């Protein structure tokens, strides 16, 4: 039987690249629970549904584990909130540093970057070994572009032509920006993952844009929630990154899939809906976020059968139960190539989201890989390669980060 101690040590201590997360709150906003409820570290529920979050298995497990982070016993969620208050008030930087321990680099989906309550992407650099990189949300970029179009609207001018050119220019600039390593779409939460592989005609798209302009204002902003426009934005992004790939520059498009809040239509959140789009844009690297949960097998199937597809294992830790986390890992490994699996926390706002996600994922990964070794599915050496790839090297290659982890294996 292989010695499993080097494998266990690697899983628990190898530096990781968190390839999809969000910015942290500033100190002043970190205890603003009306806008940023602490329960959100273990649930995507909001509104009245959030009232029940404290009774879920993920919440009860977090209550127990966070006692370790705070260095004090926490019997219930009220005690957790008190410990969080004290940690923020006395030394917020130390709480963040503990929560990001082991994180070599962050790739931040900065959808909330204009929010004065959060810290900038570069601010996070002092807590990681390598500088933070950005992932740009394409729907937010489109909404910003529509605002520009609205402010410069002229009689007789085609608003569609104006928007199209501005959006394509913004895409081009982002592709040339070395600080931006990828794009992300939340079309899953807007119109669903059943994205048409081919765009509508200009007349239809122009009408779609007019509806968006008519439903918003320059003060309130504009919501990109019309299917024709949403599909077009995704198609244009895939075309642009496919073209850029020919020049040797690879920047993937990440899709939120499955696990989310009540904005999603669960039937249209299945990553299988993306199959025609994936096949059409075979030269574009595509990442399926959130393990596709609860459609993990479908997501794994796509990663196995399309060489441009990667499967992210994030968000399920700490959002689902311990058993479900291990089931997600096992279902991912049923078909998906291990060099196409990525780790992320999908952490946001509160530092504890990062700490819980990383801790629970390492625990699940150790249990699953050790079990496979003990049952003869692969050797301990092969398991170590898989673990290091998932935690670090797969993301390092996909995003062309060229980073080197500080880790020495013990023989």
Per-residue confidence band for 154, with pLDDT thresholds at 50, 70 and 90: low
Cβ contact 309:281 at 8 Å: no
Question: If you average pLDDT over residues 380-389, what whole number do you get?
Answer: 97
Pair of tokens at residue 279: 């096949």
Cβ contact 334:300 at 8 Å: yes
At 219, give phi and psi (nearest 5°).
Answer: -80, -45
The percentage of the chain sitting over the pLDDT mark of 90, rounded to a whole number, equals 79
Using alpha carbons, select from 100, 46, 42, 102 the residue that is nearest to residue 316: 42
d(CA 175, CA 244) in angstroms, rounded, equals 8
Using alpha carbons, select from 66, 87, 63, 65 the residue that is nearest to residue 76: 63
Cβ contact 283:253 at 8 Å: no
The percentage of the chain sitting over the pLDDT mark of 70, rounded to a whole number, equals 97
d(CA 112, CA 114) in angstroms, rounded, equals 6
d(CA 234, CA 239) in angstroms, rounded, equals 9
Please state, in angstroms and as integers, the Cα–Cα distance from residue 267 to each residue in 257, 278, 392, following that order: 11, 18, 32
Question: If you average pLDDT over residues 311-324, what whole number do you get?
Answer: 96
Residues 6+ away with beta carbon under 8 Å from 214:
none
Q: Taking all residues of the chain, what is their mean pLDDT, rounded to a whole number?
A: 93
Per-residue confidence band for 321, with pLDDT thresholds at 50, 70 and 90: very high
Question: What local confidence, expressed as pLDDT, does residue 155 receive?
Answer: 60
Q: Give me the residues paired with residue 217 across strands.
A: 221
d(CA 11, CA 390) in angstroms, rounded, equals 10
Using alpha carbons, select from 273, 244, 240, 239 the residue that is nearest to residue 256: 273
Question: What local confidence, expressed as pLDDT, does residue 223 receive?
Answer: 87
Structural domains of the chain, ranges and CATH numbers in brackets: 5-398 (3.20.20.140)
| Statement: residue 387 has pLDDT above 90 | yes
Instruction: Write out pLDDT tens, residues 368-381.
Output: 999 999 999 999 99
Question: What local confidence, expressed as pLDDT, does residue 157 receive?
Answer: 64
Cβ contact 244:268 at 8 Å: no
Instruction: Write out pLDDT tens, residues 232-242.
Output: 999 999 999 99
Question: What local confidence, expressed as pLDDT, does residue 215 receive?
Answer: 84
Other CB atoms closer than 10 Å to residue 159's CB: what's the count?
A: 18
Pair of tokens at residue 113: 């970057």
Q: Give me the residues paired with residue 183 across strands.
A: 136, 253
Q: Give me the residues paired with residue 18 across strands.
A: 106
Cβ contact 25:119 at 8 Å: yes
Question: What local confidence, expressed as pLDDT, does residue 75 receive?
Answer: 87
Question: What local confidence, expressed as pLDDT, does residue 218 receive?
Answer: 74
Distance from chain centroid for Cα 317: 12
d(CA 268, CA 295) in angstroms, rounded, equals 11
| Statement: residue 410 has pLDDT above 70 | no
Distance from chain centroid for Cα 237: 18
Pair of tokens at residue 228: 């024709």
Per-residue confidence band for 113, with pLDDT thresholds at 50, 70 and 90: low
Question: What local confidence, expressed as pLDDT, does residue 31 receive?
Answer: 94
Cβ contact 208:229 at 8 Å: yes
Question: If you average pLDDT over residues 341-353, what whole number do you get?
Answer: 96
| Statement: residue 35 has pLDDT above 60 | yes
Question: What local confidence, expressed as pLDDT, does residue 319 receive?
Answer: 94
Question: If you average pLDDT over residues 121-144, what whole number do you get?
Answer: 95
Instruction: Write out pLDDT tens, residues 164-201.
Output: 999 999 999 999 999 999 999 999 999 999 999 998 88
Most confident stretch, 71-85, 91-105, 248-262: 91-105
Q: Which residue has the tokens 């013990």?
A: 410
Pair of tokens at residue 398: 């996909």
Question: What local confidence, expressed as pLDDT, does residue 114 receive?
Answer: 59
Pair of tokens at residue 313: 């294992």
Label each residue of 198-259 as H, E or C.
Answer: CCCCHHHHHHHHHHHHHCCECCCECCCCCHHHHHHHHHHHHHHHHHHHCCCCCCCEEECCCC
Per-residue confidence band for 366, with pLDDT thresholds at 50, 70 and 90: very high
């Amino acid at each position: 039987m292989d010695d499993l101690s080097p494998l266990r040590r690697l899983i628990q201590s190898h530096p990781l690249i968190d390839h999809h997360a969000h910015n942290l709150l500033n100190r002043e906003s970190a205890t603003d629970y009306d806008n940023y409820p602490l329960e959100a570290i273990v649930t995507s529920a909001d509104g009245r549904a959030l009232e029940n979050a404290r009774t879920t298995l993920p919440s009860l497990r977090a209550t127990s584990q966070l006692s370790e982070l705070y260095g004090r016993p926490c019997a219930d969620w009220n005690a957790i909130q008190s410990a969080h208050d004290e940690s923020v008030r006395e030394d917020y930087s130390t709480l963040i540093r503990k929560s990001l321990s082991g994180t070599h680099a962050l790739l931040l989906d900065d959808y909330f970057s204009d929010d004065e309550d959060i810290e900038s992407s570069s601010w996070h650099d002092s807590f990681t070994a390598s500088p933070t990189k950005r992932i740009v949300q394409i729907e937010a970029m489109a909404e910003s572009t529509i605002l520009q179009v609205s402010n410069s609207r002229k009689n007789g001018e085609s608003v569609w032509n104006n928007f199209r050119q501005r959006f394509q220019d913004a895409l081009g600039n982002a592709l040339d920006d070395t600080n931006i390593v990828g794009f992300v779409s939340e079309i899953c939460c807007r119109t669903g993952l059943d994205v048409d592989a081919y765009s509508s005609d200009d007349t239809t798209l122009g009408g779609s844009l007019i509806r968006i302009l008519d439903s918003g204002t320059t003060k309130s902003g504009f919501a990109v929630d019309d299917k024709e426009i949403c599909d077009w934005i995704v198609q244009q992004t895939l075309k642009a990154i496919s073209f850029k790939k020919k020049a040797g520059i690879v920047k993937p498009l990440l899709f939120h899939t499955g696990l989310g809040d009540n904005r999603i239509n669960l039937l249209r959140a299945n990553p299988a809906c993306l199959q025609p789009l994936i096949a059409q844009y075979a030269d574009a690297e595509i990442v399926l976020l959130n393990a596709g949960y609860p459609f993990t097998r479908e997501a794994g199937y796509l990663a196995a059968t399309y060489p441009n597809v990667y499967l992210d294992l994030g968000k399920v830790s700490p959002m689902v139960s311990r058993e479900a986390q291990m089931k997600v890992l096992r279902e991912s490994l049923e078909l998906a190539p291990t060099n196409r699996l990525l780790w992320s926390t999908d952490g946001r706002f509160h530092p504890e989201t990062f700490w819980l996600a990383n801790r629970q994922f390492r625990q699940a990964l150790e249990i699953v890989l050790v079990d496979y070794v003990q049952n003869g599915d692969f050797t301990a050496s092969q398991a170590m390669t898989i673990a290091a790839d998932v935690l670090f090297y797969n993301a390092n290659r996909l995003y062309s980060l060229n980073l080197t982890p500080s880790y020495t294996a013990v023989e």
